[in-house]
């Protein structure tokens, strides 16, 4: 039985969603040989700590936590095997997530994260720090939610060279465009519906302007294709100018419109833009689904589809990374 002590830094929807899945999967994980103990959680400037493992059901009920320890205090002072970083993404300077990740790695603590921001601004620095300190960094949850795209390539098609990646990487945009197509809603109507259902954030700009998709492209290009690119290298256009009339015209030629992110290493192309997609094409998926198409030199085209967002889906990727690190390091 492997005892795995983790901290969770950032206790919003993703952090709490992860705790719910740990509770739900506890017996299953124990049967597989993994005794997963959350020894600390941190939310802004308050925290809950128990080196023997927190009572997670009780933690979820609390509105206030017992300690005023900060995230960095927990990283430096609490004995742990893996730090899970779930704070909101910031693609300007990557913080506070970047500071948390580097502090953990430099303290020789393995890291799993759902936070895109640090990898958009400092991918090389993070990987170098992990290598230097002989610890692991898992970031499957930064791209595609439950879609295991990073682990698929690093574990299952390691002999292949990735020539290009193309896909739908944002569930909010895909939902809005799907509703506009199927129900002939205006953009504002579909956006309002997405907000009412909790699919879109109160400030939807990060999604609908293509920023989220472009951030994920940068991570894929750097981690899987070794392109050494920045966010500013991506040409970005969102969906805010897509009209019901445009979708009607697309339908006349048996097409829909999707927000597509694509990267091509040979052409040095990184682009996010609404594109015409035939209804019978693999990229023509509806609702909040994401889809990623890889073009490789040996296997050829590989397409993988799944739920791309949400606490439950993100938890799937985080737990997978935790188990992988436990197998490799603990």
85-121, pLDDT tens digit by residue?
999 999 999 999 999 999 999 999 999 999 999 999 9
Instruction: Identify whether residues 181 and 61 lie together within a single domain.
Output: no
When pLDDT is averaged across residues 300-314 and rounded to a whole number, the result is 86
Tell whether residue 140 is among the known ligand binding residues: no
At 9 the pLDDT is 98
Shared-domain flag, residues 184 and 238: yes
Q: Please check whether residues 130 and 108 belong to one and the same domain.
A: yes
Residue 33 labelled as part of a binding site? no
Give the pLDDT of residue 171.
92
pLDDT of residue 69: 93
Strands 255-264 and 269-278: antiparallel
Query: For the chain, how many structural domains are there in total?
Result: 2
Residue 88 placed within a domain: yes
57/104 same-domain check: yes
User: Is 14 known as a binding-site position?
Assistant: yes
Q: Are residues 123 and 173 in the same domain?
A: no
Distance of alpha carbon 291 from alpha carbon 307, whole angstroms: 9
pLDDT of 44 reads 84
Same domain, 252 and 235: yes
Q: What's the confidence (pLDDT) of residue 201?
A: 78
Q: Which residues span the domain enclosing 141?
A: 2-145+311-329
CATH of the domain at 264: 3.30.360.10
Same domain for 85 and 12, yes or no, is yes
Is 28 within any annotated ligand binding site?
no
State pTM to two decimals: 0.93
Residue 146: what pLDDT? 78
**pLDDT band at residue 160 using 50, 70 and 90 as cut-offs:** confident
> What CATH number did the domain enclosing 37 receive?
3.40.50.720
- Whether 295 and 168 map to the same domain: the answer is yes
Residues with catalytic function: 216
One domain for residues 117 and 234: no
> Any idea what DSSP says for residue 307?
E
Per the document, the length of the chain is: 330
Q: Does 119 appear as a known binding residue? A: no
Query: Residue 150 domain-assigned?
Result: no
Residues 128 and 55 in one domain: yes
Two structure tokens written together for 128: 């170098």
Q: Flag whether 80 is in a domain.
A: yes
Per-residue pLDDT tens digits for 223-278? 999 999 999 999 999 999 999 999 999 999 999 999 999 999 999 899 999 999 99
pLDDT (tens digit per residue) in 199-209: 887 789 999 99
Question: Annotation-wise, does 11 bind a ligand?
Answer: yes
CA–CA separation, 159 and 113 (whole Å): 26
Q: What is the rounded average pLDDT for all residues in the chain?
A: 94
Sign of CA dihedral 326, 139, 90, 307: negative
Q: How far is CA 174 from CA 31, 154, 194, 283, 320, in A?
A: 38, 27, 10, 11, 25
Q: Look at residue 159 in the predicted model and tell me its pLDDT.
A: 86
Q: What is the tens place of the pLDDT at every residue in 30-84?
A: 999 999 999 999 998 899 999 999 999 999 999 889 999 999 999 999 999 999 9
In terms of domains, do 166 and 303 share one?
Answer: yes
Are 18 and 81 found together in one domain? yes
| CA nearest to 251, candidates 329, 322, 183 | 183
Is residue 72 a contact partner of residue 87, using CB atoms and an 8 Å limit?
no
């Amino acid at each position: 039985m492997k005892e795995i002590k983790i901290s969770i830094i950032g206790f919003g929807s993703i952090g709490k969603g992860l705790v719910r899945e740990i509770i739900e999967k506890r017996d299953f994980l124990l049967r597989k040989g993994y005794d997963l103990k959350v020894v600390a959680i941190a939310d802004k400037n308050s925290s809950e700590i128990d080196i023997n493992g927190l009572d997670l059901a009780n933690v979820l009920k609390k509105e206030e936590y017992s300690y005023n320890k900060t995230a960095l205090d927990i990283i430096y002072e609490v004995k742990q095997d893996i730090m899970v970083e779930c704070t909101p993404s910031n693609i300007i300077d990557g913080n506070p997530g970047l500071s948390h990740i580097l502090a953990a790695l430099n303290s020789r603590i393995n890291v799993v994260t759902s936070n895109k921001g640090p990898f958009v601004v400092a991918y090389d620095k993070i990987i170098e720090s992990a290598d230097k300190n002989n610890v692991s960094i898992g970031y499957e949850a930064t791209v595609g939610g439950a879609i295991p795209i990073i682990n698929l390539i690093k574990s299952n098609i390691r002999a292949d060279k990735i020539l290009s990646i193309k896909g739908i990487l944002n569930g909010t945009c895909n939902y809005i465009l799907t509703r506009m197509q199927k129900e002939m809603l205006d953009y504002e109507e579909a956006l309002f519906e997405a907000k009412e259902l909790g699919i879109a954030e109160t400030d939807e700009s990060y999604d609908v302007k293509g920023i989220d998709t472009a951030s994920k492209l940068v991570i894929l290009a750097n981690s899987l294709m070794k392109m050494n690119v920045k966010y500013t290298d991506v040409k970005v256009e969102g969906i805010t100018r897509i009209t019901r009339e445009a979708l009607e015209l697309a339908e006349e030629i048996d097409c829909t419109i999707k927000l597509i992110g694509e990267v091509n290493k040979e052409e040095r192309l990184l682009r996010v833009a609404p594109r015409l997609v035939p209804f019978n094409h693999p990229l023509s998926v509806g609702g909040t689904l994401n889809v990623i198409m890889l073009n490789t030199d040996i296997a050829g085209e590989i397409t993988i589809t799944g739920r791309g967002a949400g606490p439950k889906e993100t938890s799937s990727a985080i737990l997978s990374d935790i188990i992988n690190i436990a197998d490799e390091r603990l």
